[in-house]
Structures are given as C-alpha cells and as structure tokens.
Structure 1
Amino acid sequence: MARRWAARLADTDGVSLPPEELERLLHDFARTAVAEAEAARDAALRRFTTLYSTAPIGIAMADPDGTIVEVNKELGKFLGHKPDRLRGRRLTELGFDDRDCQKLATALAELAETEIEEFADRIRLAHADDAGVWADIVLTRLPGDRPGTLYPVLMAADANEVYTLQETLRHQSIHDSLTGLSNASRFRTLLESALSPSARGQIALVYLDLDGFKVINDGLGAGVGDAVLRGVAKKLKEAFADHDALVARLSGDGFAVLLRGELTPPQVIALVETALEDLAEPIYIGEHGVGVSASAGIVVRDVRDGGVEDIERAAEIALHRAKEAGKAQWMLFDPELDARDRARYRLGAEIAGALENGQFELIYQPTVKLANPDEIAAVNAGLRWHHPELGELPAEEFFPLADTTGMTIPLGKWLLTESLRATARWRERYGDAAPDVCIRLPNRLAIEPDLVAMVKDELDRNELPAKALRLCADPASILDPRGEVLDSLTVLADLGAKLVLTVQGSADLELIPQHQLSVQHVILSGPVVDALADGEPETAARHLDQLITRARELKLRIGAEGVRSHEQAERLRRHGVIAARGAFVAETATGDEVDQLIEQHTDATVTG
C-alpha cells in the first residue's frame, strides 16, 4: 500500500523525491500513527480498568447472551461473594426473588429489542447469606471488540440505608408514633378504599373513646398515660386480630376499628363487648394497676349506603350517645334517632342568631304566699323562644343545647339584663308591692368566674338594691368542681342578694350547713311535692315534715314548685310551706300579666 501511494506521489509533477524515499516516509508515518493509537488505546484501557476496579459501586459485565464474564470487587463485597464465584452466572440470576429476576430479564430484553440506552430501578439482589439487599441498579450495553456486538453491563449501588430511611419515614407518616397503630390519615385512606364504587358487602366502623383519661394523665403523669395508651392499643389489636380488622389511633385517647366482609350488627356488637371487657382489666405500669373504661359508637351497613363522611358522622353520633348514656358502654347507630338529633342540633346552632334577632322573650312564673294566694312573693324569670318554624319553645328544649354550643352565658346575661330591667320598672311603678325577681342560674352560668361582676353591673345599671334579686341554684351547681360557685354565692349574699336552693331530700338540705351557704330560701321540688298531689300518704307526709323541721332549724323560708292544684297547695301550707308556684296560679305569665297580678293585689290591699 505504501509503494502504491509512493508511486502515485512520485508521478506527480513537481515532486522531486524518489519513490523509495516516499515509501520510507509513509512507513514512518504509519508506524507513528499505529504507535500513538496503541498508546491511546492502552491508556484508555488502563483508565477503564482503574475505574472499573476502584469504582465505589458494583459492576458486572456479561457477554451478549447475559452470562457474567467479569465482576469488580465492590459488587462481590456488596453481594458477599468473591468475584470469581459470580463469573459464569447469568445477570438475571442476581435477583433476590422471582420478581427481581423477572425485572432484570425484562430490562435485558428491552435493551436488546428497543432503542432505550439504559434501564434504572431499585430492586433486591441476592446476598450470599440468602438475604436480599436493596440496590439502585442501572443496566446498559457497551460496544464489543467486533463491530455490531453489544455487551450488557450491570451497575449496582447500595440502597439499603436509603430504602430503610424511606421505609421508616413512610411508616412514620402512616402510623402513630406512640402505639404503632395506623394513624388517622392512613385510616381515612383505607376507609375511602373500603367504600369505593367497586366495593361490595358490609362495613363496620367502631369509634372508641377512653372515659376519664384526663384523670390518669393528671393524676399519675403523662408517662403513665402513654403506657396506658400503648396497653389499650395492644388489647384492641388482640381483640380484633381474627377478623382482619384495621385498628387506628385517631386522637389523644380516641381509637377506631374498621371491619369489612359479611357482617351483622350482633357479630360486631359481640366483638366490641369483648374488647370493652378486655379494656376493663387493669393495665399494670410499675406498681400502678390502672383500670380504664371506654365508650364505643358502632355503625354496621352496606358499603353502598353512603360515603365516608356519612359513616364517620354516624359513628361519632353513636359514640356521643354512648357517653351521654353513662359511658363504659356501646351504642349502635340508629337512623331514626339521628333524624331527631339533627333537628335538635340544628336548633342549638340557631340560638345565637335567634338571640340577635329578638326571638327570645321573658316569661315569668309567679310565686304566691299560701296564706294569701293573691299576694305575689316573687316572680321566677325565664326565657321562651319564639321560633319562626317551631313556634313557642320552653327553656328545657333549648338550654341543654345552649350548653353544647356555648350559648348558655349569652342567654344567661340576656335573662339577667332583661329581668332586672323589668324589676326596676315594677319597683318604680308599684313601690313596695313590686315582687322580687328570682333567676334560676343554669349550671354553666353558676360556675362562671365573672358571675359576681355580671350581677353587680346589672344591679348598678338599673339602680336596684341587691335585695331585689333572688338567685336560685341547684345541688348540681353547688357541687360542680369547676369554677368557684360557693365563693361567688357568698359574695353575692354579702352584697344583699337572696340565695335560693332547690332541694328534693335531706341530703340536698344538708349542703347548706356543710358548705356554710348564706341561703335564705329553699324550694321543695320533685317527688316530695308530687307525693301530695292527690292525697296525703303517711310516708310522704312524714318525709315532708322532716324536711320542713330541718329547714326551720336552719332558719330557712320554705317554698315549693310544681304545685298543680289549690288542694295540693293547701296540704303543703298545713305542713309549713309558706309560698308556692305552679299551675294552681299560672304555668307562665308575660310581663303584662304580672302587672295585672300586682295591680290585683294592690287593689285588694287598698280595698281591704
């Protein structure tokens, strides 16, 4: 080839070198080119070999059919083998299980049959100790010595720490850190899945709430409380272990259980009863044997009967009813009760707007002196709601709802303000003939820390002496551990307000000396009054006489409420009751009707 090119060059005009010289030059050129090419190839080979052998990731090179021909030390170290133990095996055999092996086989096929240049994934590779190790792998093909030949190469980086961290974070994101149960987020996701359009069969949702858990936390400390919660979680998992149930912690001491399949209410109730019995067994933390009880709300229904919000709301309502019924028990959701409750809760939600829009009015129940029924001793002020759809609603229908919605204080303030304003008007108009106004304190108002300031402000605003006001409380308010009821009542009595206590028996009456209450009036109510409605049974009369005797010993003025007839009023008078209210006078009276009663008494006094 060199002579041929030399002859050509020699035959060209202007070239003075002989062909032999040109041939020598070309030979020199060729030798130099080859030497440089070989040097470059050797350098590239050394670089590749160094990179291959010292790479911090595992590398396996295979022949075109996927049989491993070379393995670096890092891959051998990663898989727990000496490199020569891996040579001769197929790349697809490096997978830990069938799924991983199939992924490798699919990747090799895609590299051979498509134009993709690499395949990346996270799979498990087989370790020498028969365990799986997580690896981030890249499969690609490198050109071989002969044109058109491609050799598969597997590169694997240790992903165990990353995988473990990701799994830890994933677990933490869907599990409760204290109990290890599923958390509220995961529970909601699986509940949504259980109620998907393709779901069939029945579903049961159980909400459980520990009763009085705050006592454990406050009395024994948060550490013991946490240990109790872990114990409760363990018991719940065991109680529902045979039914493929999902148990979750939704809140501080709130748990939930989700069951799916062919279910009936009796089956689910039996499981819940067993769980509640197990929870009642003491949990021993150190030397403390801590007993807990739980209330449960249960919903069992077909998966197609509503969505997630519907079943969650039903479980919450059932749980609320269980707690209202006395705790430590379960309640099954009842659609009919739910319909009634919805109407009640709607009523409770409307109280604030009704108060602002003037739908409430004052009503009174006159208390008369039994020795002279025409003379009003006091009027008990109360509220009536003129509902635009439901008509007139008495206090017992909305005050319990006001407690739930936080409207008791605003209603109580309005009652106090308006009744003292009416009292001021009566005193200005009728003078000494004007009756005292008696306000029965709702429990939430009785424990209000600002009660004294609230009452004093209204008395001052209406320029009324405190003696014009009677404040009536019941034993439940006196014994309520919240607030400072006793202190408030003592201060109000010192200001001159007259304190009234409703009593039904001897135990209620003994609260007065026990707590040194400055009570001036007691109002008999309930069975002790009802027993004399149609006659005078000996036992009932004896009980009444004992109460009245004790009340006189305490220098109390004695009244009664719920008196239905003049005959009943007369029987009570003979036993020592001096004043009464009820249907025998009037169930309720408006402000104008009270005016008429006062005027009648005033006219009778003048005439007399």
Structure 2
Amino acid sequence: MPHARASAAGPGTPERESSHSQAVEEYLSLFENAVCGIYRDRLDGTPVRANPALYTFNGYNSEEEHLAAVTRHGGSWYVDPDRPRYFQHLMDTQGFVRDLVSEVYRHRTRERAWITENAWYVRDKDGRPLFIEGTIQDATERVVAMAEIERHANTDALTGAASRLMFMKTLDDVVTHTSTRTALLTIDLDRFKEVNDLMGHSAGDIVLRTAAERLKTATRKYNATVARLGGDEFAVLLPELPPDLDIARIAACVVEAMRQPIDIEGHPMVIGASVGAALCPEHTLDAKELLTLADLALYEVKKSGKNDFCVFNAFMRAGHQRRKDLEAELNAAIASDALELFYQPILALKSRRIVGYEALMRWNHPRRGLLPPSEFIPMAEDAGLMVALGEWAIGRACRQAAALPDDVRVSVNISPTQLRSAGIVQSVKKALAETSLAPHRLVLEITETAILSSEAIASRVITELQGLGVTFALDDFGTGYSSLSYLQRYAFAEIKIDSSFVSGIGTKPVNLAIIRGIIGIARDIGIDVVAEGIETEAQAATLLAEGCGYVQGYLFSKPKPFADIIADLAVERLAGAHPVDERAAPRAPLSAKG
C-alpha cells in the first residue's frame, strides 16, 4: 500500500505556528478594537479580561486599572439587586444569555446606564465550565428613546392627562383583574368648540389644559386616572370606590368645578361640562361596555341641555337600542328611496307671487308614519349619515326642480358635516349634470355655524360652487354669531331672517329693530332678504312696510309633497293673478331642515 503524503502544515510545522500566530493577532485585534465591551470572568464573577470598550464604559483608562478596581461583577454591577440571580438562572438553565437588557452602574462614577448583554460558558474538553465570556453594548440611548415613545403614547402631550390608548388599557386591567367597585365618568366640554372657533386654537388649548387640571383636582382623593380621549372629550376612571359612596356626588363635583370661569387671555369664560357616569359591577362587568354606558348617560345630559351630569340606568339601554334600530332603518331608507322632500313656497311679498320653494325632508317610516327632520336628523348626525342624507337631498331637489318653471329657484340646506366633506362639490356637479338643471336655479343654504366649523374648507367650497353658477343663502341670520365679515367675504345672494325674530315682531320692539337693521344692511349691499315663519297678515304687513322682499310661512302654505306644489303652481300661473316679479332672476331657497 502506498504511503500517504504528509501534510504540508502538520503539527509543529512552521506553517501551522504561523497560522496560529496570525489567528491570535486577529483575535486580539477584534478584542482591542471592538465597539462593544468584551469580558472574561471566572465563575465567581471575578474579572479576568476586559477590552477597551468595556473598561472605558466603566470609567477606567486601562485594563489593569479596571481589573484592579472591579473585584467582582454582579451585585455591584446591576441596579436591580435581583438581576444577578436572574442572570445566573439563565446561565444554569440555558448555558447562555442572549440580548438581556439591564440597568447597570458604570463602576467608577456609579452613573446609571442601560446595556444589552450576551454571555456563554467557556468549557474544558469534558464540557465543564471554566469561565464566563460575554459582550455588552451601551443601550442607554435606545432605552431612553423607547421610554420617550412610550411616554408619548401613554400621555396626552397637550394636557398631561393619560392618552386614550393608556386609558383603555388601564380600564381593561381594572375591570378585568380586580373585584372592587369602579366608576367611569365621561366628560364633554360644552362650549369648547365656540371658544376654539371664535378665539383660536391657542385659546382652545388653554381650555383643554385647564379642564384636565380641574378634573385631576376634583378626583385626586379617589386615586383617579384622568384621560383625554380626543378633542374636548375626557374620561375619569375611579377604582376601588367604597360601596356606600354615591357616584352622583363625585359627578356633581366635576360639573361644579367645570362651571367656574376660565381666564382666556384676560377674558373670563364659563365653558361648562356634561358628565355621564356608569359603575362596575352594578351596570356591567365588561370594560368596553362600561365606557358605552357612561357615554349613553352623557348623551342624555347633552340631549336635555348640557352643563349637568347623569348616571346610567336601564331605561337608557333600551333607548340606545331604539336609536340603533332607527339608525339601521334610516340606512335602509336612504338605500330604498323611502325619504321624501316636502316643499314650502317662498313668495315675493309685494306681489304674493311664488318665486321658489324650500324643501323639507320627510321620512316615510314603515311603522311610525311620516317623520319630520327633528325625529331623525340628530340621530343621523350621531351616526355619521349626514353626508349621505345631504347628497340624497341635493340629487332629489335638482331632479324635481327641473320639472318646475325656469323662473323658480330651489335651495338645499347644507349641514356643517356635509360642508366639510370631501365630495360636496362633486355631488353638486353630478346632480346638476344628471338633471340638466341650470346652476343659477340652485341656492345652497348654509348657517354661520357651518362656516365656523371649518372656515378654510367653507371658503374653498363656496368659491368652487359659485364658479359653477350656484348661489348661496346665509340661513338663520341673527341667531348665531352674526359676523358681518361673512357678508363682506362671501357673495351671498340672500339673507334669511329666522322665525324667532318674526314671531315677536308685533310685541317686542327689539325684534323689529333687529329685523329693520338686517333689511337695511342687506339693501345697502344688494342682498335679498327672506323672512321665515310668517303666520299672520299683521306680520306680513309690518315686513312689507320695512322693505322685506320675500317671505315664507304657514300664512301662505304648509310644506306639501312635490305633486301638490306642481298643481298649486300651475293654478297660480294659469290664473295670472300676479305680475311677474320685478327681478330678472327671482331667487327661491330650498332646504332640508324642516
């Protein structure tokens, strides 16, 4: 058998020794130049080796200085006194440690820092541990950054209250994992939107910060968690309440605290708050339902006038279910075209000629009959259905208006929600295109409140639609903020005087003075005036004497279905009893407000 060739780098050869020497040099280079700390300890924790990154981390200038000062890792290293035992437990059970994040002391300065460490045993040829080796990396910046991210996630930046995310977690923990009596308050600030719209976001921020501080003060002795859920919505979680403590008393204290004036840039303003309350376990054992029930109680307060509190009861649950059923039915009504527009005529007061109609939405409910808007519009607002309703009203009004004489205009009331929606311009364009209605025959009615809710969007929408030829009416003038700047800023075709001024025109001098002022301003700037709610000939005569051009109300006609107004208009035009109105293009508003 031929001899095997000897290895070129056998044991003890110069080549092998050179290779070994090179490996040692490479290892030492890695040890000395690594950016992470590298160490070797005896099994009792006494340091044997420490590379520059490690001894620099601990505040020393050399390995010798480090080894002389650090007699043992463990208790003097970790901030948590239990950490050495946990480290040893991992080593005993796994034989290694991977990515363990711990807070430690920099040995020389005792400054705290965070590290990520890995460790393993160095074993002899029989597998017995000889040393512990490991690496550490300074994780302080990463841990601090993560803590800051968590703080932002758990805390509302503006008010310092708990965030919605943190609150929901706390609520779930308290309700799920404790058996004590717990109360939940939900709070809405009553006049926040008014302050925010009129005085700006800086004033709104003052209100929110003050509200959070007052809620904390009012509930501090109950170990409460105060959270800002969003906008002007707050919540207070009160755990471990005594069985005999009346939650109504706490809610009343919160309402009273929020009734106190808030100083806003030198102006004391009363904002007020509405508070809903629910209890666990009395009302529910589920965290999410507890929030729902508190919101139902809050809804009752807001429905009955705000600035008060209400504790949940079983009747509210039944009412909530009815509203949910009604919401589902309304969705179905929109889809199945079960809604209808009724029309109330608008007349030129001097000639009593019909120049247009205002459309009033009705719902043909299968069980409850014909419902006016007051029965379903508030629910539609809460359910987010106003945009769908508004689009339906625009489409139906344009389609029916196309069947009216060319000198009769129509108008549709635009809700604040619809005005802010992204698709309003497109929905108007679509309705006009599908019905071939001349744009100048459509008048869109908006209120000052709708403009205030988002003035930048309102300005863009008004400008775009006026560019199409659509005209605008300022509805309910005098009942809102009545800023004359709106009349200057937007080219309104009409001002509509609210019926609340007309109703007292013969008995309240101030009503007549207000109406006279509105008519005078409108006349001077060339805007038509429509007075609403005319019920007597005396009111009509007074308005005529004051120079009001157009009117509507029960004196002339109640709202009627479209087929009826077609017939009425045909009779009027056939009779020819009234001369054509002096305006070249008579305006006739049309809305869906009821």
1:100 to partner: Cα distance: 1.6
Tell me the equivalent position of 2:106.
127
Pick one of 86, 89, 94 that aligns with 2:77: 94
Inter-partner Cα distance in structure 2 for 1:275 and 1:330: 9
Inter-partner Cα distance in structure 2 for 1:382 and 1:94: 78
User: RMSD across aligned C-alpha pairs, in angstroms?
Assistant: 5.7
Greater percentage in helix: 1
Inter-partner Cα distance in structure 1 for 2:163 and 2:476: 39
Inter-partner Cα distance in structure 2 for 1:353 and 1:108: 65
Inter-partner Cα distance in structure 2 for 1:319 and 1:148: 69
Tell me the equivalent position of 1:512.
515
Specify the code of the residue in structure 2 equivalent to 1:75: L
Pick the structure with greater CA Rg: 1
Q: Retained in 2: the 8 A contact 1:474–1:501?
A: no
Tell me the equivalent position of 2:231.
252
Inter-partner Cα distance in structure 2 for 1:588 and 1:41: 104
**Residue 194 of structure 2 corresponds to residue 211 of structure 1:** no
- 5+ residue gaps in structure 2? 1-9, 346-356, 420-424, 429-436, 444-472, 523-527, 572-594
Cα distance, 1:161–1:208 mapped onto 2, change above 3 Å: same
Tell me the equivalent position of 1:78.
57
Tell me the equivalent position of 1:109.
92
Inter-partner Cα distance in structure 2 for 1:42 and 1:561: 106
- Report SS of the residue matched to 2:158: coil
Tell me the equivalent position of 2:303.
324
If asked which structure has higher relative contact order (CA below 8 Å, sep 6+), I would say: 2
Moved more, 84-93 or 324-333: 84-93
Tell me the equivalent position of 1:390.
368
Inter-partner Cα distance in structure 1 for 2:244 and 2:394: 43
- Report SS of the residue matched to 1:169: helix
* TM-score, normalization by structure 1: 0.59
- 5+ residue gaps in structure 1? 1-29, 367-378, 425-436, 459-472, 494-498, 530-543, 563-578, 600-608
Cα distance, 1:344–1:413 mapped onto 2, change above 3 Å: farther
Superposition map of 1:384-533 within 5 A: 385-391=363-369, 393=371, 397-398=375-376, 401=379, 405-406=385-386, 407=389, 410=392, 456=441, 479-481=479-481, 488-489=493-494, 503-504=503-504, 506=508, 507-516=510-519
Specify the code of the residue in structure 2 equivalent to 1:503: S
- Report SS of the residue matched to 2:238: strand
Pick one of 132, 135, 140 that aligns with 1:152: 132
Tell me the equivalent position of 2:318.
339
Cα distance, 1:133–1:285 mapped onto 2, change above 3 Å: farther
Inter-partner Cα distance in structure 1 for 2:199 and 2:477: 28
- Report SS of the residue matched to 1:94: coil
Q: Retained in 2: the 8 A contact 1:362–1:419?
A: no
Inter-partner Cα distance in structure 2 for 1:413 and 1:42: 89
Specify the code of the residue in structure 2 equivalent to 1:258: L
- Report SS of the residue matched to 2:114: strand
Pick one of 120, 129, 146 that aligns with 1:166: 146
- Report SS of the residue matched to 1:258: strand
Inter-partner Cα distance in structure 2 for 1:118 and 1:523: 82
Aligned residue pairs total 481
* TM-score, normalization by structure 2: 0.61
Cα distance, 1:119–1:480 mapped onto 2, change above 3 Å: closer
Q: Retained in 2: the 8 A contact 1:92–1:101?
A: yes
- Report SS of the residue matched to 2:102: strand
Q: Retained in 2: the 8 A contact 1:264–1:300?
A: no
Specify the code of the residue in structure 2 equivalent to 1:160: T
Specify the code of the residue in structure 1 equivalent to 2:367: E
1:187 to partner: Cα distance: 2.5
Cα distance, 1:45–1:318 mapped onto 2, change above 3 Å: same
Moved more, 246-255 or 406-415: 406-415
Tell me the equivalent position of 1:243.
222
1:173 to partner: Cα distance: 3.2
- Report SS of the residue matched to 2:171: helix
Q: Retained in 2: the 8 A contact 1:122–1:134?
A: yes
Superposition map of 1:259-408 within 5 A: 259-262=238-241, 267-281=246-260, 292-302=271-281, 305=284, 307-344=286-323, 346-347=325-326, 350-351=329-330, 353-354=332-333, 357=336, 359=338, 385-391=363-369, 393=371, 397-398=375-376, 401=379, 405-406=385-386, 407=389
Deviations 1:447-500 (A, max 9, x none): 9999x9899469xxxxxxxxxxxxxx999565345898995556x99xxxxx99
Deviations 1:25-68 (A, max 9, x none): xxxxx9x9499888877776666556545543334433344333
1:513 to partner: Cα distance: 1.9
Deviations 1:535-582 (A, max 9, x none): xxxxxxxxx99x89977975999x9999xxxxxxxxxxxxxxxx7999
